[in-house]
């Protein structure tokens, strides 16, 4: 079951811009997060609680980026609909 159902109403331009900004900001956070995860895994005794937190953060980033892609798709669909 998809936990991100499509919204019933199209996104406004402001909502689209907000989703785009959040998605790009989330991607900017991903690289340092992955570096932290690699460093933690390389330790002889990694801190599992910290790794769990890093995994949760990576999941949040994936959700934000998914919202970014969804907003782009909706914007493109709306633009194509208005052109025809």
Condensed to tens digits (0 to 9), the pLDDT of residues 40-70 reads: 899 999 999 988 998 898 888 888 788 888 8
Residue 7 in any domain: the answer is: no
For tokens 């919202």, the residue is 67
Predicted pLDDT of residue 42: 92
The Cα–Cα gap between 22 and 4 comes to 16
Which position has the higher pLDDT, 42 or 25? 42
Q: Taking a C-beta distance cutoff of 8 angstroms, is the pair 20, 73 a contact? A: no
Provide the number of structural domains found in the chain: 1
pLDDT at 9 over 70: no
Q: What is the pTM of this model?
A: 0.57
Q: Does residue 73 sit within a domain?
A: yes
Q: Is residue 46 situated within a structural domain? A: yes
Question: What pLDDT sits at residue 68?
Answer: 80
- Domain assignment present for 36: yes
Domain extent at residue 66: 13-83
Structural domain contains residue 4 = no
């Amino acid at each position: 079951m998809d936990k991100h159902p499509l919204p019933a109403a199209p996104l406004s331009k402001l909502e689209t811009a907000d989703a785009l900004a959040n998605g790009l900001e989330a991607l900017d956070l991903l690289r340092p997060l992955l570096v932290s995860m690699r460093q933690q895994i390389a330790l002889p005794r990694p801190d599992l609680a910290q790794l769990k937190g890093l995994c949760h953060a990576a999941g949040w980033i994936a959700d934000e980026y998914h919202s970014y892609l969804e907003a782009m798709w909706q914007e493109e669909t709306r633009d194509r609909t208005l052109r025809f």
